């Protein structure tokens, strides 16, 4: 079963006010809801030319939610219900590599998930079992377009990097930071998982453009991570992030060609039709309605 694809509708998960400075036509703030619980807040939606944009502040207004309390399922479900075709995450990260300096951007291409068991990481479960492929968790096309946009905005951009998703909300110990480096991690953050997993289950091509704010805690001759230092870098990069969004939406190909991630659920559901839980199926009307009929 193929999925009908029309134009671009970019969903953006990031900080509050990310859309400020972008002249959105037909701008609206819409209260949203999800059968998976309360999302982080309303969405702000509008258009730039023929491209539709829908923004959500991942941590809620005023950054009231800790990374471990964000309802990632509700947020992704809401984006799907809004008709988003592609999902871009803007996130702050710590660097685990000397060459990934604070102030630069990284287009993530891989994840190591250290949040396993602590956050609901699937829309599916008992009564409706599904296994999606996640070898390549990021949409190569969207990641490349986002990296190009950041470079056009004047940012230093690194294409590719492995993101270690930690639970938080505390920062790493020095021992943990050194271990993550040995594992092959390039950057570290608290929100990339299960967000990327859920986006794949929702058949939303996902990319993360992450802003390096600090050198985590692996440099023994330096003080550890402090929130005040992170905020300084975030504030200095805020306009760069907005400029990147504008460059992205104005440089997208006129026609959105189908992505392989648009049909990630095509052969993923294993539960026999007569054994499927009708309650869970009803909750999945947006996420999996294409394949559940």
For residues 245 and 290, give the distance between their C-alpha atoms in angstroms, rounded to a whole number.
29
- CB 203, CB 265: distance < 8 Å: yes
Taking Cα atoms as reference points, which of 68, 76, 73, 67 lies closest to residue 15?
Answer: 67
SS3 content of the chain, % helix, strand, coil (to 5): 30, 25, 50
77, 109, 214, 262: the active-site residue: 214
- CB 242, CB 21: distance < 8 Å: yes
- DSSP letter string, 159-214: E--EEEE---SSPPPHHHHHHHHHHT--EEESSHHHHHHHHHHTT--EEEEEEEEE
Known catalytic residue: 214? yes
86, 113, 186, 216: the active-site residue: 216
- CB 186, CB 177: distance < 8 Å: no
Q: Which residue has the tokens 């990031």?
A: 14
- CB 185, CB 112: distance < 8 Å: yes
Q: Report which secondary-structure segment, H or E, holds 45.
A: strand 43-48
**How many other C-beta atoms can be found within 10 angstroms of the C-beta atom of residue 58?**
24
For residues 43 and 27, give the distance between their C-alpha atoms in angstroms, rounded to a whole number.
10
Catalytic (active-site) positions: 214, 216
């Amino acid at each position: 079963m193929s999925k009908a694809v029309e134009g671009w509708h970019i969903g953006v998960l990031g900080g509050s006010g990310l859309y400020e400075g972008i002249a959105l036509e037909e701008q609206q703030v819409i209260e949203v809801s999800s059968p998976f619980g309360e999302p982080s807040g309303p969405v702000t939606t509008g258009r730039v030319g023929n491209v539709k944009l829908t923004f959500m502040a991942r941590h809620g207004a005023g950054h009231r939610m800790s990374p471990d309390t964000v309802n990632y399922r509700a947020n992704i479900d809401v984006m799907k219900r809004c008709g988003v075709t592609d999902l871009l995450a803007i996130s702050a990260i710590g660097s685990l590599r000397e060459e990934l300096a604070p102030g630069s951007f990284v287009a993530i291409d891989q994840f190591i998930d250290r949040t396993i068991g602590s956050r609901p990481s699937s829309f599916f479960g008992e009564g409706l079992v599904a296994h999606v492929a996640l070898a390549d968790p990021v949409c190569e096309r969207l990641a490349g377009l986002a990296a190009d946009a950041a470079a056009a905005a004047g940012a230093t951009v690194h294409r590719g990097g492995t993101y270690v998703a930690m639970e938080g909300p505390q920062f790493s110990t020095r021992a943990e930071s050194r271990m993550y480096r040995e594992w092959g991690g390039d950057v570290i953050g608290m929100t990339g998982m299960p967000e990327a997993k859920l986006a794949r289950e929702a058949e939303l091509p996902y990319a993360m453009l992450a802003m390096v704010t600090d050198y985590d805690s692996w440099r023994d001759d330096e003080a550890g991570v402090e929130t005040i230092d992170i905020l300084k870098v975030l504030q200095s990069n805020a306009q760069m992030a907005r400029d990147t969004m504008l460059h992205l939406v104005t440089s997208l190909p006129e026609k959105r060609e189908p992505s392989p991630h648009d049909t990630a659920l095509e052969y993923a559901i294993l539960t026999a039709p007569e054994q499927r839980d009708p309650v869970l199926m009803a909750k999945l009307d947006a996420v999996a309605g294409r394949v559940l009929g």
